Structure 1
Amino acid sequence: MNVTKKKINILIVDDDEKIRELLQAVFSDMEYTCDTACDGQAGFKKTVNASYDLIILDLNMPLMNGVDCLKAIRQVDPLIPIIVITGFQDIVEENKQTLSLANSIINKPFKIEAFINAVQSLIRIKK
């Protein structure tokens, strides 16, 4: 019997193209599929129209910031694992209650190994 493993599908929502490209390259090497969005509004639309195993969400973005995007995603899918990434600790402090909806918050700059570990642990939890 041939058992095929389901590909892990990750959505990366960040306005920084370099971050999107870096994470996409890392996850591609791990044989995960990635989709990207450059702002919260586009990211939210993608979560409504597709299924993801994990969402990586920046906080400080145009059109719809990460806090509002997180709230909107949780209304549609309260269980999908979400990692929030940010370089702005003040935004985290101001939005502690809403950000508790995320599974993990990782500060930029981050070590890629620690980031991968966080992703893998959340994917294992979801399975």
Structure 2
Amino acid sequence: MRLDFMTIKNENKKILLIESDQVLSQSLIRMLNKEDYNLVFHKNLEKAICDLKTKHFDTIIFGLNQPFTNSIDSLNHLQSLSGIPEIIVLSSFNLDEIKSAFQSRLINNILIKPIKKETLLDCISNIKTFA
């Protein structure tokens, strides 16, 4: 399996996963595949931008990584793209630190790693923008 880009097909629920952690991304891909989501995976935002410009996504799952400030800049860039969908942030940082950094941004959920399957699936199922 190629780990820098992957698409899983299901026409109803479109999710863009941006996560550089190889182990976590493999786990999330398997989990979301079993749930029949239409998933497009990229290791970083730069590689995901082309898909963001040409495809509609109902949500983005975005992994915050070190350094934290670069992740904030990446998220700002992500949100500046037109037609921004809802965003779920995955992080190993302190929850209060993340909430204060993202107060004014369109973050729907912040999940702290390790991610529980049920919690992530609940976040996704609560998004009302699926086509």
Asked if residue 33 in structure 1 is aligned to residue 38 in structure 2, the reply is: yes
Stretches of structure 2 that go unaligned for 5 or more consecutive residues are 1-9
Whose RCO is larger (CA < 8 A, sep 6+)? 2
* d(CA) in 2 for partners of 1:91, 1:60: 14
What do residues 42-65 of structure 1 show as CA deviations (whole Å, max 9, x unaligned)? 233431232211110011158x94
Contact kept in structure 2, 1:70 and 1:101, CA below 8 Å: no
From 121, 125, 129, the equivalent of 1:126 is 129
Stretches of structure 1 that go unaligned for 5 or more consecutive residues are none
TM-score (norm 2): 0.76
From 102, 113, 122, the equivalent of 1:117 is 122
* d(CA) in 2 for partners of 1:55, 1:102: 10
Percent identity reads: 23
1:57–1:65 CA distance, 2 compared to 1 (3 A): farther
What is the count of residue pairs matched by the alignment? 119
More helix by share: 1
Asked if residue 66 in structure 1 is aligned to residue 74 in structure 2, the reply is: no
Asked if residue 77 in structure 1 is aligned to residue 82 in structure 2, the reply is: yes
More strand by share: 2
TM-score (norm 1): 0.78
Please name the residue that 2:59 is paired with: 54
From 21, 27, 33, the equivalent of 1:22 is 27
